[in-house]
Amino acid sequence: MITVRIPTPLRTVTGGQSEVQVEGSTVSEMIEKLAEVHPGIKERLYDERGEVRRFINIYVNEEDIRFLTGKDTPLKDGDEVSIVPAIAGGG
């Protein structure tokens, strides 16, 4: 099982859950499985070309997948995935 940390703005599609457990041997497979349980999440993460949006980072444990092998980054049991969108508040 992979533990996925869901950021506040995406919790509307996970029924308020901040952490979900899901299977998957790569990041893209994990997102597909996640979308089966939480419809709508894929559209939030991917742009129209099916790539991870450029203001959202996905970390496997503490590494950004853009600097690993992107959506093909392999996952193993016990990995922790974090979805981190840019936030801009400060006022």
Partner 1 sequence: MTDFTDEQIQRYSRHIILPEVGGKGQKKLRQAKVLIIGAGGLGSPAALYLTAAGIGTLGLVDGDVVDLSNLQRQVLHTTDRIGAPKVESGRQLLEALNPDVNLVLYPEHVGAPNILDLLADYDLVLDGSDNFSTRFLVNDACYFAKKTLISGSIFRFEGQLLTIKPHAGYPCYRCLYPEPPPAGLVPNCQEAGVLGVLAGTIGILQANEAIKEILGIGESLARHLLLYDALDMSFRKVARPKDPACPLCGTSPTITTIQDTLVSCSLQTQP
Q: Is 57 in the site for partner 1 (CB under 8 A)?
A: yes
Q: Is 53 in the site for partner 1 (CB under 8 A)?
A: yes
Residue 26 pairs with which residues in a beta bridge?
A: 74
User: Residue 23 or residue 84: which is nearer to partner 1 going by CB?
Assistant: 84
Q: Is 26 in the site for partner 1 (CB under 8 A)?
A: no
Q: Is 88 in the site for partner 1 (CB under 8 A)?
A: yes
8: how many CB neighbours lie within 10 A of its CB? Answer: 9
User: Residue 19 or residue 23: which is nearer to partner 1 going by CB?
Assistant: 19
Record the tokens describing residue 90, joined without a space. Answer: 């400060």
Q: Is 64 in the site for partner 1 (CB under 8 A)?
A: yes
82: how many CB neighbours lie within 10 A of its CB? Answer: 17
Record the tokens describing residue 75, joined without a space. Answer: 């996952």
Stretch (H or E) spanning 59: strand 56-60
Residue ranges that bind partner 1, judged by CB under 8 A: 7-10, 12, 18, 44-45, 53-57, 59, 62-64, 66-67, 82, 84-91
